[in-house]
Amino acid sequence: MRSPPKTSENFRPTLSPSEAAKGRCQQQRSSNTSTEGFLLSLSRYRHQPLIILLQLLTLTNVYSYFLEPFLNIGAVDFLRTAVSLFILQDNNTSMTVSWKPWTALFYILFKCSTGVSQQFQLEPLNSTVLQGSDVRFNATVEGDWRVMTWDVGDFQVLTFTVNGTILRSSPRFSAGFCSAGDKTCVEFIIHSVTRKETGPVECTVQGEYGSKTAQLNVQEGGTVHITGGDVTVVQDQLVEFQCVSAAWFPTPTVTWMQNDQAVDSSLYNTSSMADADFFNATSVLKLQAVRNATVECRATVPALTNPQSSSVFMVVVSQQFQLEPLNSTVLQGSDVRFNATVEGDWRVMTWGRPETFRFSLSL
């Protein structure tokens, strides 16, 4: 049976804490066989609590599934660093524990964890755009990298190397460095984006960097129209306007304006319904005619910078003709009188019961 390795060859601390932190974060994962051999070498010493802890971490895969992915260092490297910091050799026979190296170990854990988390960023993580426009995502990578891939939905659409080589599935996808000479930032572009691209956009940097995912939302603007066109109404009359918004995705938000002032939402009603892959909305506004006004209907979705709109002009005229009284009750055989007041020029006035005869007066 192979004897355990010598203490002087395996456990002599030769690196400072900062040097150990830098070196351990960059080394690759060792094999399970090496790990088992290393743990076996610990058994000759009497530092049983540390041995039991290290064995539990390895045998239960706690280290493999929790610590190792977080620190990005190999199992053997992590164990050797810990033991070299905690256990000091004394004449090759007795072992003593130093509590000061705890600070150094925490320094290693902190440097390994924070360094990895800051090495790769994807922006923006959420993007909402209109169909037919271009959408851009930036990947910022710290450190050395070689190959980057981009997935849209379930398909890998582009591969980009640090040398600028591009392999893509369609000319609609492109990539390049954000600025000349700066290889830490890569811009990925989807040209003339369609609603089919709605969903996850994933960037993967090969190596220890892993992948990050952004969400893309593609929307579509439709048409807006106020039915009926311009209107002429009598002052104080209640006027109804109808606005139809067709072929939108998602359902548009509809608002009304009167002379560039927002109309109270209590004065209009908006309903919508699905039509295949789109939404149509109908909004009805009821206004009391007070003065001349431009009435505007606006429809928008979040991706639109400016809403789409339709407008008509409302002409308000004063009450030009009045008849008094509007109701009269008299005895048979008596005289009854009605007064007609007309503002402005007029030519012909007709009086009478519609079902019998009319009396006309002309000027």
pLDDT tens-digit map of 255-302: 999 999 999 999 999 999 999 999 999 999 999 999 999 999 999 999
Measured in degrees and rounded to the nearest 5, phi and psi for residue 8 equal: -65, -20
Q: Does some domain include residue 2?
A: no
Are the CB atoms for 42 and 49 separated by under 8 Å? Answer: no
| Distance between CA atoms of residues 129 and 303, nearest Å | 5
Tell me, yes or no, whether 18 and 82 share the same domain: yes
Give the pLDDT confidence score for residue 27 in this predicted structure: 46
Give the pLDDT confidence score for residue 119 in this predicted structure: 84
Q: Looking at the 3D structure of the chain, how many domains does it have?
A: 4
CB atoms within 10 A of CB 279: 20
Closest CA to 8 of 86, 75, 78, 91: 91
* Residue that is last in its domain, among 117, 133, 165: 117
Q: Does some domain include residue 53?
A: yes
Residue whose pair of structure tokens reads 């610590």 in the numeric block:
67
Are the CB atoms for 256 and 249 separated by under 8 Å? Answer: no
Give the pLDDT confidence score for residue 321 in this predicted structure: 73
Q: Does some domain include residue 296?
A: yes
**How many Cα atoms occupy the beta-carbon half-sphere of 40 within 13 Å?**
11
The share of the chain scoring above pLDDT 70, in percent, equals: 63
Are the CB atoms for 226 and 241 separated by under 8 Å? Answer: yes
| Distance between CA atoms of residues 88 and 96, nearest Å | 6
| Distance between CA atoms of residues 27 and 331, nearest Å | 116
Spacing of C-alpha 273 from chain mean position: 25
Q: Does some domain include residue 12?
A: yes
The model's pLDDT over 299-331, given as tens digits with 9 standing for 90+, comes to 999 999 999 999 999 999 886 777 888 788 999
Closest CA to 244 of 312, 313, 310: 310
Tell me, yes or no, whether 171 and 90 share the same domain: no
Strand 238-248, strand 278-288: pairing: antiparallel
* Residue that is last in its domain, among 94, 117, 140: 117
Give the pLDDT confidence score for residue 352 in this predicted structure: 74
| Distance between CA atoms of residues 152 and 141, nearest Å | 20
For residues 3-16, average pLDDT: 46
Tell me, yes or no, whether 205 and 129 share the same domain: yes
The model's pLDDT over 152-180, given as tens digits with 9 standing for 90+, comes to 999 999 999 999 999 999 999 999 999 98
> 147: domain range?
120-219
Give the pLDDT confidence score for residue 232 in this predicted structure: 92
The model's pLDDT over 61-96, given as tens digits with 9 standing for 90+, comes to 444 444 444 444 444 444 444 444 444 444 444 444
For residues 343-349, average pLDDT: 71
Cis amide linkage into residue 124, ω under 30° from 0: yes
Give the pLDDT confidence score for residue 360 in this predicted structure: 55
Strand 210-219, strand 126-130: pairing: parallel
Give the pLDDT confidence score for residue 60 in this predicted structure: 43
Average pLDDT along the chain: 77
More confident residue, 4 or 269: 269
Assess whether pLDDT exceeds 60 at residue 186.
yes
Q: Where are the alpha helices (DSSP H) in the chain?
A: 7-10, 17-26, 32-42, 48-59, 62, 68-71, 75-86, 101-117
- CATH number for the domain harbouring residue 157: 2.60.40.10
| Distance between CA atoms of residues 168 and 190, nearest Å | 11
* Residue that is last in its domain, among 153, 188, 219: 219
Give the pLDDT confidence score for residue 157 in this predicted structure: 97
Q: Does some domain include residue 107?
A: yes
Assess whether pLDDT exceeds 80 at residue 20.
no
The model's pLDDT over 228-241, given as tens digits with 9 standing for 90+, comes to 999 999 888 999 99
